[in-house]
A and B are shown apart, each in its own frame.
Chain A
């Protein structure tokens, strides 16, 4: 089945130690998104890629970076995680046009010690 896969499902890191979360998709969707979700709050968009075009949200901290080496893969890099970065990180994809819904991965829960 076509899907969005996130690895790992659970990630523990130490304060200040860089961490990379990965997302892959078999849907061949143009657009990939990274969201941060805390404590059952609304997902907060960090950035998204429209094909290779990177779109950063204005309030996304510089500590968060992303890479999309090809259509299928997208990575979220947190350069120096702080305690406040502990959250669920959700990857999603969609087709480019307005009417299409997003498909979400299961998420990676990040713990910062």
Chain B
């Protein structure tokens, strides 16, 4: 079965410290991986994606993610966290199911950046 796992419900990090939000996946074929962020009472906002090419992808607001095929992981990172980064983060994979495309989301990780 195709799936995405985010093993941490919550990640706390001090402002200015590096942050990592973890994501692992299981899909058949080549993975198309995405990170989204959600602020309270808002829709999801796209951060970055991996389709092919360089394993380190850079996205919005200073975020980056590293694709690791052997570990089937796509962890989200940022070198220096800001309080404004506090939000809910979702990892997603786009998969083929019953001949159509759809997105499979992880359960989300709440990031809290402490001042």
Residues of chain A having any CB pair with chain B under 8 Å: 4, 6, 31, 33, 40-43, 45, 48, 50, 55, 88, 90, 92, 96, 98-99, 101-107, 109
The residue of chain B having its C-beta at the shortest distance from the C-beta of A103 within the complex is B46
Instruction: Note all chain B residues with C-beta closer than 8 A to A88.
Output: 41
Instruction: Note all chain B residues with C-beta closer than 8 A to A105.
Output: 43
Instruction: Tell me the minimal C-beta distance from A33 to chain B in angstroms.
Output: 8
Residues of chain B having any CB pair with chain A under 8 Å: 32, 34, 36, 38, 41-46, 49, 51, 88, 90, 94, 96, 98, 100-103, 105-108, 110
Query: Given A41-B108, A43-B105, are A104 and B45 neighbors across the interface (CB < 8 Å)?
Result: yes
Instruction: Note all chain A residues with C-beta closer than 8 A to B103.
Output: 33, 45, 102
Tell whether, in the assembled complex, residue A99 and residue B108 are in contact, meaning their CB atoms are under 8 Å apart: no
Instruction: Note all chain B residues with C-beta closer than 8 A to A55.
Output: 98, 100, 102
